[in-house]
Structure 1
Amino acid sequence: MALYQEPRLLDFTKTPPHLQFNKYVLTGYRPVSTAGECLRSLFYIHNELGNIYTHGIPFLLFLVLLPCSIPWMEVDSTWICVAHYLACLCPTIGSVLYHLFMNHIGGQHVYNTLLSLDMVGVCLVNTLGALPIIYITLLCYPTVRQTALLAYILVSAYGIYCATTAHTNFLRLRAFVWQALFRFSLFLFRVYGTGVGSPESLRLFVIMDTLAALGGLVNVIQIPERFSPGLFDNWGNSHQIMHVMVVCSIIYLHWGTMEDLAWIRGFQCPAE
């Protein structure tokens, strides 16, 4: 027996205009709700439930399990561990808040604020997640390393601005291009230059970025629901697929960073 009466779900044409961002998802929209009603939507099926749980469950697992696998006391620069831990958490918590409260009674203003928070979380996983990569790749070049860290932070700030002011999924995806190119240049420096780092971590980082890019592309193209509108309203639509790929990307980021942190303990830069 239900503890409360579930609300009547809406179809695409009855939902507020700011929530009509995927015309191939036809049903299962929650009505405009208070904060308490949004929270209660965790316990009945609607078309955002999969989006909430595909990032909510990983957030809780990352929150509890990741600290156990990070070598906090074995790394000279503890900030690397802190940055990595926050990087793994940021995109999932921002996403959960966005999808849970997107139909809040506050309307489009609240929606836009939550979307910006979600985008900032995505930018932060790129920013904070890449800082250990930059630090270790340029380990033997302290001056260049400091400049590169500052440059990446500035590039990331520009990405945050672009992502939070964009009006389409394509423009939001494009906002992350400069960060991706910066990381790719670091990967090339490891392969063809004198950058350092674990040989195994480079493969993991490439998989990480590939998964993230494919997830973003799936979300922009809106497949598979584009080919069968209505069939994937609640489960298996493009946004949920992207969420799963983003979580897998974060896992590869973690594995790659752990490889680098293990490698750095036994490495010394060659004498000039």
Structure 2
Amino acid sequence: MMGLYQGPRLLDFAKTPSHLQFNKYVLTGYRPVSTAQECLRSLFYMHNELGNIYSHGIPFFLFLVLLPFSIPWMEVDNIWICIVHYLACLSPTIGSVVYHVFMNHVGGEHVYDTLLSLDMFGVCLVNTLGAIPIIYITLLCYPTLQQTALLAYILLSAYGIYCATTARTNVLRLRAFVWQGLFRFSLFLFRVYGSGVGSPNSLRLFVIMDSVAVLGGVVNIIQIPERFSPGLFDNWGNSHQIMHVMVICAIIYLHWGTLEDLAWIKSYQCPTE
């Protein structure tokens, strides 16, 4: 596939535009400034963003086609939970693909910043939409608290979206998700030590989901393994690609955990006072 199109002469780190110089350990393989059509052509030749494009592009199409077959649409009373979950699983991948394909667009830094905000918005959506079924089911037996928690989480997520899409560094972007993470952790504690409900099997999956996602973010920030061998991981195996794979793993664990909860909720009845 990579031989279908002869790509342009690629650039070294020092010769690429300054707004694309965010990983000094990736030394070669940068695409030159390109039109939208030329950006699309870059899907068919080797460069240092190709792994980032396909590591989220392929899962996007797999999720788009395959996830609906595993979601129990007709077995859930509130079908909106299934819709929200499906959108959550798709959201981080589509924004990421668009960002990585067009990041070297001739529009320059303004276009780049817009695309980066789109990418971060997708990450915010998986945090927001992915947690809504967890909140709904954990507080199933407390309708008033459930509604309050959903509203609070949506407002908190709006703040997180603002912080993530305006942040200028990876550290600040990761910090934008801290409060959402703490909110979900409080729900997990309520399941274990309080009166929260949910499948006995889903909690472990959700904890793994958050742990994998955080680890991926940390790997991206500290830029390993390329930090230890600059130039060796320019095209494959660098920190951002590792983070992409871990994001996909986190989405899969989110999906498995939500399926466990959806199967559990069919037969559960809240205790009557």
TM range (shorter): over 0.9
**Equivalent residue for 2:92?**
91
Moved over 4 A (4+): 1-4
**Equivalent residue for 1:178?**
179
**Equivalent residue for 1:24?**
25
**Equivalent residue for 1:63?**
64
Instruction: Give secondary structure in 1 for the equivalent of 2:137.
Output: helix
Deviations 1:137-193 (A, max 9, x none): 000000000000000000000000000110000000000000000000000000000
Instruction: Give secondary structure in 1 for the equivalent of 2:226.
Output: coil
Aligned mates of 1:32, 1:115 — CA distance in 2: 16
Which runs of 5 or more residues in structure 2 are unaligned? none
* CA-CA distance at 1:5 after TM superposition: 3.5
Instruction: Give secondary structure in 2 for the equivalent of 1:226.
Output: helix
Aligned mates of 1:253, 1:2 — CA distance in 2: 37
Instruction: Give secondary structure in 2 for the equivalent of 1:199.
Output: coil
* CA-CA distance at 1:65 after TM superposition: 0.2
Letter in 2 for 1:214: L
**Equivalent residue for 2:125?**
124
Deviations 1:36-90 (A, max 9, x none): 1000000111000000000000000000000000011111111100000000000
Aligned mates of 2:116, 2:206 — CA distance in 1: 27
Structure-2 change in CA distance of 1:21 and 1:186 (3 Å): same
- Spell out the pairing of 1:243-262 with structure 2 (5 A cutoff): 243-262=244-263
- Spell out the pairing of 1:83-232 with structure 2 (5 A cutoff): 83-232=84-233
Structure-2 change in CA distance of 1:5 and 1:45 (3 Å): closer
* CA-CA distance at 1:6 after TM superposition: 1.4
Aligned mates of 1:143, 1:7 — CA distance in 2: 59
How many residue pairs get matched? 272
Deviations 1:22-44 (A, max 9, x none): 00000000000001100000011
**Equivalent residue for 2:241?**
240
Structure-2 change in CA distance of 1:3 and 1:223 (3 Å): closer
Deviations 1:210-248 (A, max 9, x none): 000000000000000000100000000000000000000
Instruction: Give secondary structure in 1 for the equivalent of 2:164.
Output: helix
Aligned mates of 2:193, 2:5 — CA distance in 1: 62
Structure-2 change in CA distance of 1:242 and 1:4 (3 Å): closer
Aligned mates of 1:58, 1:234 — CA distance in 2: 19
Q: Note if contact 2:53-2:97 (Cα within 8 Å) is conserved in structure 1.
A: yes
* CA-CA distance at 1:4 after TM superposition: 4.5
Instruction: Give secondary structure in 1 for the equivalent of 2:257.
Output: helix
Aligned mates of 2:3, 2:252 — CA distance in 1: 37
Root-mean-square deviation (CA, aligned residues, Å) is 0.9
- Structure 1 length-normalised TM: 0.99
Aligned mates of 1:271, 1:218 — CA distance in 2: 47
Letter in 1 for 2:74: M
Q: Percent identity?
A: 85
Which runs of 5 or more residues in structure 1 are unaligned? none
